[in-house]
Each structure stands twice: as structure tokens, then as C-alpha cells.
Structure 1
Amino acid sequence: MADSGKALGPVRVWALAAGGMVGGGIYIALGVVIAAAGIWSWLSFLLAGIVAVATAWSYATLSNHFGKAGGAFEFLEESNREGWAGSLSWLLIVGYTLTISVYAYAFGHYVAWSFGGGPWAIRLLAAGIAAALIGLNLLGVGKMTMVEVVIVSGNLIALLVLAAFGLAHWNPGQLSNGIAAHPPTAAFAGAAAIFMSYEGFQLLAYDYDEVRDAQRLFVPVLVSAAIFVVFVYVVVALGAPMLVGAGAIVDQREVALSVAARAAAGTPGMIAMTVAAGFATSAAINSTLFSTAKLARRVADDGELPRWIDHENGAGVPDRPVVVIGVLAGTLAVIGSLSSLVEAASLVFLVTFAIVNLMAWRHAGRRKWIPGIGMALGSVIGTVLIIRLARSETIPLAVLGILMLVAIFVRPRLLAGRGK
């Protein structure tokens, strides 16, 4: 395909990268990070954001280096690390499934809260949005870049307006109103708790072969999108508590931004933010499900997943992974708790980003310091997260540990037994 005929120009790539991160993450993450870090929540977003920006550079640089779509799986394959590529692909699929479940969880809570729906309404909405987007993907309309760009634009505007309104009512006391005091070191706990809110930019690496003039533009576009999202998160973390106090954000963490928007502009503000949350989470589910299904098919085609995964329906859609991943994510959204879903997904992506930064460090030449920062700071955040999970979420940590062992040691035997 000629470069001029490729579908994704720099504006779309930037919007999709930013939307992949913002689409759902901040709507759930704000209350979680304030509970963990208190007045230092803005610093938590900044610390996690530094890792995300360094990793965005690493993903883009490695994509240019290898000149192929496929993300971390392809990077390892091209580096003759097929075994590690297979293990990491299993963990990535788990991480993306957890992320989709968080987005469905957020959708159910925001929409149900807007009309006073109870727990059953939340569950039905979470399951319903997962089912609806499974259906759309199976029909072959899973990738709607222009629609996603419009949703991302509206979402970013809504968040920035909310942040601006809160910052205009600056009152530092609101950052600690209703919550216990936290030391500055709590910022690392906050960063660990919500790292999955920076997941999403790497999905563009799966579409690298659709990007126009990728060798020249992929690095600056991906990195600038990540930097902008860090800015949005920091100003929202400072602005939203100004409107209702940190305690209210924590107490109603599942719908924190709609609560803040209602305080800012009454019912119209609440409706606008709920609509933004609904569309943002839906778009994030859609794009993540589509990209994860593509990854699963690519991995199965390479023999690192069972052969029956490598299947397409009449619309050219990898239908089996779409259904399996979507159903699992919808189920987790219905039965899982917010903190366990968010922190488990965060750990998967911290591991993945560490591997990508290590690979980029080996190829970086004079710019080794960029992935070096990502590895060093990410290691600190990852260590804090493991300690948090060991203390409060032992079951999710144990499950993730078992999955990692299965991916590394059991996977080769399972695939060999099924005729890889």
C-alpha cells in the first residue's frame, strides 16, 4: 500500500492516542487516586504520566525501528524472543480484558447514577454495553476512527472546562477536605493505584502500518498526545476537588466527575459530564476490544494461542476473540470491585511498559535516558503497587501471579499438546 493511501494521518493518530488514555480512565481513577494520595493526587498523575510519556517514546521508537505493526509482541518477535513474546501476549490480553471491564464498570455507574438507577441497573448497563460493542465488532464496524476522534474531542473539552471551572474557585483546603492527611510519599501509592489510566496510547502501535509518514511523525505525535493527557489529568485532579471537596470525590468515586460537574453547573453540567463519560467509555471499550481481538488473532496465527482463535467471520472480523474477550470483560465488570480491577490492570501494564522501555533502551543510542527514566520510575511504582496488592488485594495479586506462571511455564506445554 502506498504511504499516501494510508488511513491515519497525524491528527487522527494524536486524537486516538489521547482518547485511548482518557477514554474511561480518569472517570474512575480520580476518586481512587485521591483515596490513596490525598492532596498529592496531582503528583500521582504526574509521576505515572512521566512513565507513560517515556514509554510512548519507546513504543514509537521501536515501531519505527522494526517498521511493523504489532506492539510489544512484535518487538519481542523481531528480537528473536519468541517465547517471551508469547508469554507477554497472554498477559497483555489479560490486561486489556481487565481494562475493558473497568470501562464497562464506569459506563454502568455513570449512566445509572444519572437517572437514580440502583445496583441492578448498573450491572445491566455494564453487561449491556459490553454485549452491544461485541455485536458492533462482529458486524465489522468496530473501528470507527472519525467517530472516535469526535468523541475524544468532546471528551477533552468537557474535562478541561470542568478543570477550568474548579481552578477558578481555587481553595487549597478543598484538596484535603473530608479525608485524612497524606505524606508526599503517598503520591507513589496513588500513581500505583491508577496506572491503567495511562493505558491506551500503545494501541496505535497495532495500527502502525496504517499511519501516514510514520517514520517521521509517529514519535512526536504519540509523545505529544501523552504529554497533553498528563496535563489534563493534573488539572482535573486539582480542579475537580475544588468544586465538592476531596471527601466527596472519594465517597462517590464511581461517578466523581459527574458529581463535580453538578456542583459546577447544576443538572446541565451533570448531564453533559455523564454524556461525555458514556461516550468516552463506549469508544474506549470499542477500540480496546477491536485492537485486542486483532492482537489475539496475530498471536494465534504465530502459534502462541490455540488455533481456533485464528478465525474470521464473513465481515473479516476475528470473531472468536471478540466474543471471548468481550464476555469475560463484561462478566468482570458485573462481579468485580473497582480497586481490584484497576490495580490488577495497572500491574499488567507496568510489567509490559518495563519490557518495552528495556528494549528501547538497548536501541536508543544517545537517548537512553528516556527509556531509562521510564524503567527506573516504573520500577518504583510497580514495587509500591505489589506491596499495596499484597496488603489489601491478595486474591487479585495471587491470580495475576498464577497467570504469569502459566504464561511463562505452562503455555508452551499447552500449545504443544494442542498442536501449536
Structure 2
Amino acid sequence: MAEILKRRIGLGLLTAYGVGVMVGAGIYVLVGAVAAEAGIWAPLAFVLAGVIAAPTALSYAEFSTRFPEAAGEAAFVAKGVQAPWLGTLVGLAIVMAGAVSAAAVLRGGVGYLGAVTGWPAGPSMVVIGALLAAVAVVGVLESLALAAIFTVVEVLGLGLVVYAGFSAVPVADFQMPQEIVWSGVTAGAVLAFFAFIGFEDIVNMAEEVREPERVLPRAILLSLIITSLLYALVTWAAVRSVPLERLGASEQPLALVWQMGQGGSAAFLSLIAVVAALNGVLAQMVMASRVLFGLGRRSAWLSVFHHAHPRFGTPVRATVLISVAVIGGALALPVAELAGVTSTLLLTVFVLVNGALILMKRRVPEAAFRVPMAVPVFGVVVALAALGASLGGLG
């Protein structure tokens, strides 16, 4: 019985994986919502959200060099707080968040696909979910290579939106901007923060990464920087080319940007949103199965999942279970509150990870990659604030 995953991933693929998870399908609808809060200063709200996410990303980066293993958050919390049961609970929360998120994204992506092709939703979810599961089983290199292709398509699509926005005639809102209202920018930043969730998935690939102590921190930070710049550019193009009233009310804000700049149909953006959704589903399937694999090492009652296929070098049992849960969830669950549940689970984990790093740094200061103590302290404060906002939104 194989219990070792194959180390086949380098910095480029891992960074593309991180960018793909973060960009996902959310940016295609979130721009309008953030603009409704922050107005013409929406790009600043996205930059601020990246700054808010940075401390937790840096905490993950340090922890990833201390304990480069699958089920990263579970290991971080278990060893930082010295409570194995809490680590297992955190790991299961990550598995649940990954499966729920993938189910919601699969359902949303199939909705976009149906609008373009007319294909029925139920069979499409089953077929697409099964095909993505097959890719995830065959190999991590194949999975991340496909995810990288998806990411390139997403980024190219967003690049076209930026081009359209900057080629349009600037709207009056942009030419005569109102004074900055920090309460609106802050509210927009809290909303935009959820667009940066995904960097934490990188640490769960640790056992399939070459030189993880060197590669993991770089991939986390690079993916966060690239995504922050991309979001700021897309949002800038949007507020430049579309009146704020229309932008804030739209469920397809990037289609508006294209039409204002280039005219004609923006149906291709629906297809790119499908690609973004496929990327998100595949990435979450891969991540959640690795967490379950890692939990199998740490917990006797989950040990059946600590098994890698001798040929493929992937956690097949864990991948099959996660895939069934994702397809079943997509078929059976309403999407409306799934994103909120996912965010709440992950923000709770962020609080625990930052807190665990504070305790770990006090006991064992040395690490291959170290951040100042102020970083996890600020990370706890920010994650608690965002968690409060998230719970308020759910309420």
C-alpha cells in the first residue's frame, strides 16, 4: 500500500494553481458589488483587501516551511496549539469548505454553460464532475497542468476586459470623481476580501512539491501579488467605462465593460466564466482530497484515506469520496448560502492558524522562512473582523 505522494510540482505550476483558485468565477460578479459600496474607489478597495489578506498569507508561508505536509492547516493548528483533536477538526472543516465551494461553483458553471448551449443541468453536472474527478485521479501534474491552462484562459479573458475598459470613453463618474468615503471603501474591501480566499489551498499540495520549504512561500506570495494587481486593473477598467449606477446593479458587470468598450455580444465571457468554474472545481477537488489524505496519517479513524495509488501517485480513495460529495452537493443543495458558509469556515480557520503561529513562534522562533510576530497578531485581528462581517451578512 503506497503512502507517499509523488513530488512533481514546481514554482510555476503551483503559482498558477494559486492564482486560478483565487480568481475563480467570483471576479466575474464581485466587481459590481464592490463598486456599489466603494464607488469610483473600488480598485482601492481590492488593493486594501489584498493588504488585509497578506498577514494570513504570510503566516501560512512561514508555517508551510515548518510543516510542509498535506492537511497543512490541521498540522499547523495541532502543533501550534498542541491539540491534535483541534487540528483534525480544522482539517475536516477545510475538507467540508472545499467540497461545498466546489459544489457551488460546479452548479454555477453549469448554469453559465446551459445558458450558452442549452444542455440540461443535472446530466451536465454529473458528466463534468466525473471528468474532472478522472483528471484528479490520473495525476497531480496532469491536474495542475489543466488548471494552469484554465488559469491562462481566465487571465486572458480578464485582460480583454481590461483592454475594453481602457479603450472606452471615460464616463462622467470617472472624469469627475467624488471625494473618497473611507467607510464605503472599507465595506467594499471586506466584500472583496472573499475574492482572495484560495491562497491557503497551496499549502495542502506540500507533499507533491519539489523543494517545498523554498517553493511554498514564494508561490503563496506570488499568487497573492498577481491576483491583487489583476483585480485592481479589472476594477479600474470597470469604473472607468461603466456608470456606477449600472455597474453596481449588474450581475454581469464585466459583460457591461466589454459592451461599453467594444460593443456587440459578450457571450464569450460566459464561456470564460465556465472555464473559471471548471478550474475552481478541479482545484478544490485536488485540495480537499490532499487534506483528507493528510488527516488519514494523523487520525486512526480516517486512516483508510492515507493511501496513494501505486501507479498514479494520487490519493484515489479521498478523491473519489470528495468527487461524489461535490457532484451530490451540486445536484441537491441550493447555491445561495454556500459561499457564505464556506467563507465563515475558512475565516474561522484563519483565526486559528494565526493564533497557532503566535504560540509556535514563542516556543520555537527558528524557521526557514520567518515573519515578524506582528504579522500573525494582525492576521488574527483582521480575520476576526472579517468573520464578524461574514456572520453579520449571514444573519
Which range, TM-score by smaller chain? 0.7 to 0.9
Separation (CA, whole Å) in 2 of partners of 1:324 and 1:125: 14
Alignment of 1:31 onto 2:32: yes
2:316 counterpart letter in structure 1: V
Q: How far apart are 1:53 and its partner, in Å?
A: 2.4
TM-score by length of 1: 0.76
Q: How far apart are 1:75 and its partner, in Å?
A: 1.3
Separation (CA, whole Å) in 1 of partners of 2:162 and 2:344: 28
Separation (CA, whole Å) in 2 of partners of 1:246 and 1:126: 35
Q: How far apart are 1:172 and its partner, in Å?
A: 5.8
Match of 2:217 in 1: 219
SS at match of 1:367: coil
1:197 counterpart letter in structure 2: A
Mean CA deviation greater in 60-69 or 284-293: 60-69
Task: Kindly indicate whether the alpha-carbon contact (under 8 Å) linking 1:72 and 1:85 is maintained by their aligned counterparts in 2.
Answer: yes
1:8 counterpart letter in structure 2: I
Separation (CA, whole Å) in 2 of partners of 1:248 and 1:121: 31
Separation (CA, whole Å) in 2 of partners of 1:156 and 1:6: 27
Task: Kindly indicate whether the alpha-carbon contact (under 8 Å) linking 1:188 and 1:384 is maintained by their aligned counterparts in 2.
Answer: no
Q: How far apart are 1:355 and its partner, in Å?
A: 1.9
Separation (CA, whole Å) in 1 of partners of 2:29 and 2:71: 28
1:220 counterpart letter in structure 2: R
For CA contacts below 8 A with separation 6 or more, give which structure has more relative contact order.
2
Match of 1:98 in 2: 100
Separation (CA, whole Å) in 2 of partners of 1:341 and 1:160: 29
Query: Structure 1 pair 64/141, CA: closer, same or farther in 2 (3 Å)?
Result: closer
2:350 counterpart letter in structure 1: F
Q: How far apart are 1:261 and its partner, in Å?
A: 2.8
SS at match of 1:197: helix
Q: How far apart are 1:64 and its partner, in Å?
A: 0.5
Task: Kindly indicate whether the alpha-carbon contact (under 8 Å) linking 2:153 and 2:275 is maintained by their aligned counterparts in 1.
Answer: no
SS at match of 1:335: coil
Separation (CA, whole Å) in 2 of partners of 1:304 and 1:47: 43
Separation (CA, whole Å) in 1 of partners of 2:35 and 2:342: 18
Separation (CA, whole Å) in 2 of partners of 1:43 and 1:127: 40
Structure 2, unpaired ranges of 5+: 1-5
Of the three residues 263, 277, 284, the one matched with 2:280 is 284
Query: Structure 1 pair 69/131, CA: closer, same or farther in 2 (3 Å)?
Result: closer
2:16 counterpart letter in structure 1: A
Alignment of 1:372 onto 2:377: yes
Alignment of 1:351 onto 2:348: yes
Separation (CA, whole Å) in 2 of partners of 1:128 and 1:40: 42
Alignment of 1:245 onto 2:243: yes
Separation (CA, whole Å) in 1 of partners of 2:242 and 2:124: 27
Q: How far apart are 1:39 and its partner, in Å?
A: 4.1
Task: Kindly indicate whether the alpha-carbon contact (under 8 Å) linking 1:131 and 1:330 is maintained by their aligned counterparts in 2.
Answer: no
Q: How far apart are 1:82 and its partner, in Å?
A: 0.8
Mean CA deviation greater in 368-377 or 345-354: 368-377
Separation (CA, whole Å) in 2 of partners of 1:160 and 1:88: 37
SS at match of 1:144: helix
Task: Kindly indicate whether the alpha-carbon contact (under 8 Å) linking 2:42 and 2:239 is maintained by their aligned counterparts in 1.
Answer: no
Match of 1:322 in 2: 322
Mean CA deviation greater in 359-368 or 282-291: 359-368
Task: Kindly indicate whether the alpha-carbon contact (under 8 Å) linking 1:59 and 1:205 is maintained by their aligned counterparts in 2.
Answer: yes
Query: Structure 1 pair 147/130, CA: closer, same or farther in 2 (3 Å)?
Result: closer
1:158 counterpart letter in structure 2: G
Match of 1:261 in 2: 258
Separation (CA, whole Å) in 1 of partners of 2:128 and 2:209: 29
Task: Kindly indicate whether the alpha-carbon contact (under 8 Å) linking 1:98 and 1:329 is maintained by their aligned counterparts in 2.
Answer: yes
Separation (CA, whole Å) in 1 of partners of 2:288 and 2:303: 16
Match of 1:293 in 2: 289
Q: How far apart are 1:299 and its partner, in Å?
A: 2.1
Match of 2:54 in 1: 53
Q: How far apart are 1:73 and its partner, in Å?
A: 0.8
- What do residues 154-188 of structure 1 show as CA deviations (whole Å, max 9, x unaligned)? 32232133124313436364579xxxx99532334
Of the three residues 349, 374, 389, the one matched with 1:384 is 389
SS at match of 1:8: coil
Alignment of 1:111 onto 2:88: no
Match of 2:187 in 1: 189
Over aligned residues, Cα RMSD in angstroms? 3.5
1:321 counterpart letter in structure 2: L
Query: Structure 1 pair 208/63, CA: closer, same or farther in 2 (3 Å)?
Result: same
Separation (CA, whole Å) in 1 of partners of 2:246 and 2:130: 32
Match of 2:3 in 1: none
Of the three residues 81, 84, 88, the one matched with 1:82 is 84
Q: How far apart are 1:128 and its partner, in Å?
A: 5.1
Query: Structure 1 pair 134/163, CA: closer, same or farther in 2 (3 Å)?
Result: same
Query: Structure 1 pair 63/310, CA: closer, same or farther in 2 (3 Å)?
Result: closer
* Structure-to-structure mapping, 1:157-168, within 5 angstroms: 157-168=156-167
Identity within the alignment, %: 20
Separation (CA, whole Å) in 2 of partners of 1:195 and 1:50: 9
Query: Structure 1 pair 228/258, CA: closer, same or farther in 2 (3 Å)?
Result: same
- What do residues 3-51 of structure 1 show as CA deviations (whole Å, max 9, x unaligned)? xx94222222221111121122312332343345444433432233123
Q: How far apart are 1:293 and its partner, in Å?
A: 2.0
SS at match of 1:68: coil
Separation (CA, whole Å) in 2 of partners of 1:143 and 1:292: 17
- What do residues 261-284 of structure 1 show as CA deviations (whole Å, max 9, x unaligned)? 34433457x244333222222022
* Structure-to-structure mapping, 1:333-348, within 5 angstroms: 335-337=334-336, 340-348=337-345
